[in-house]
Amino acid sequence: MSPGPQRTVRPEVHAREPLTEGHRFPGTGTYEVLTSTAGAPERGVSTDPGEAPAPAGL
Protein backbone atom coordinates (compact mmCIF):
# COMPACT_ATOMS: atom_id res chain seq x y z
CA MET A 1 0.00 0.00 0.00
CA SER A 2 1.51 3.31 -1.01
CA PRO A 3 0.90 6.51 0.97
CA GLY A 4 -1.43 9.12 -0.44
CA PRO A 5 -0.24 12.46 -1.73
CA GLN A 6 1.77 14.45 0.78
CA ARG A 7 0.28 17.78 1.78
CA THR A 8 1.61 20.52 3.97
CA VAL A 9 -0.69 21.34 6.85
CA ARG A 10 -0.55 24.29 9.20
CA PRO A 11 -1.05 23.54 12.90
CA GLU A 12 -2.87 26.21 14.88
CA VAL A 13 -2.61 26.10 18.68
CA HIS A 14 -5.71 27.58 20.28
CA ALA A 15 -4.85 26.99 23.94
CA ARG A 16 -1.98 25.73 26.12
CA GLU A 17 -2.28 24.66 29.73
CA PRO A 18 -0.11 22.64 32.10
CA LEU A 19 -0.84 18.96 32.61
CA THR A 20 -0.84 17.68 36.22
CA GLU A 21 -0.77 21.25 37.55
CA GLY A 22 2.75 21.85 36.25
CA HIS A 23 4.35 18.79 37.90
CA ARG A 24 7.93 18.29 36.69
CA PHE A 25 8.65 14.70 35.64
CA PRO A 26 12.22 13.41 36.17
CA GLY A 27 14.26 13.54 32.99
CA THR A 28 11.57 15.24 30.90
CA GLY A 29 10.14 18.23 32.77
CA THR A 30 6.56 19.45 32.53
CA TYR A 31 3.92 18.41 30.04
CA GLU A 32 1.29 20.61 28.41
CA VAL A 33 -2.18 20.02 27.02
CA LEU A 34 -2.54 21.66 23.61
CA THR A 35 -5.88 22.39 22.02
CA SER A 36 -5.21 22.69 18.32
CA THR A 37 -6.32 22.03 14.79
CA ALA A 38 -4.30 21.31 11.70
CA GLY A 39 -5.17 21.77 8.11
CA ALA A 40 -5.00 23.84 5.00
CA PRO A 41 -8.61 24.99 4.50
CA GLU A 42 -7.64 27.04 1.45
CA ARG A 43 -6.79 23.71 -0.25
CA GLY A 44 -9.73 21.77 1.17
CA VAL A 45 -7.66 19.97 3.83
CA SER A 46 -8.94 19.99 7.41
CA THR A 47 -8.86 17.80 10.50
CA ASP A 48 -12.04 19.37 11.87
CA PRO A 49 -14.85 16.81 11.39
CA GLY A 50 -17.34 19.67 11.17
CA GLU A 51 -15.59 20.89 8.01
CA ALA A 52 -15.31 17.49 6.32
CA PRO A 53 -17.51 16.78 3.33
CA ALA A 54 -20.24 14.16 3.82
CA PRO A 55 -19.49 10.76 2.24
CA ALA A 56 -21.10 10.27 -1.15
CA GLY A 57 -24.45 8.54 -1.09
CA LEU A 58 -25.59 9.77 2.32
**pLDDT (tens digit per residue) in 32-43:** 998 887 766 666
Instruction: Tally the domains of the chain.
Output: 1
Residue 20 within a domain? yes
Residue 50 within a domain? no
For residues 44-57, give the mean pLDDT: 64
Average of per-residue pLDDT values in the chain: 75
Distance from C-alpha of 58 to C-alpha of 53, rounded to nearest angstrom: 11
Residue 6 within a domain? no
Whole-model pTM over 0.75: no
Residue 42 within a domain? no
Measured torsion, CA atoms of residues 30, 33, 39, 41, in degrees rounded to the nearest 10: -130
For residues 45-55, give the mean pLDDT: 64
Straight-line distance from the first to the last Cα atom of the chain, in angstroms, rounded to the nearest whole number: 27
CA 46 to chain centroid: 9
Q: Which domain holds residue 21?
A: 11-37
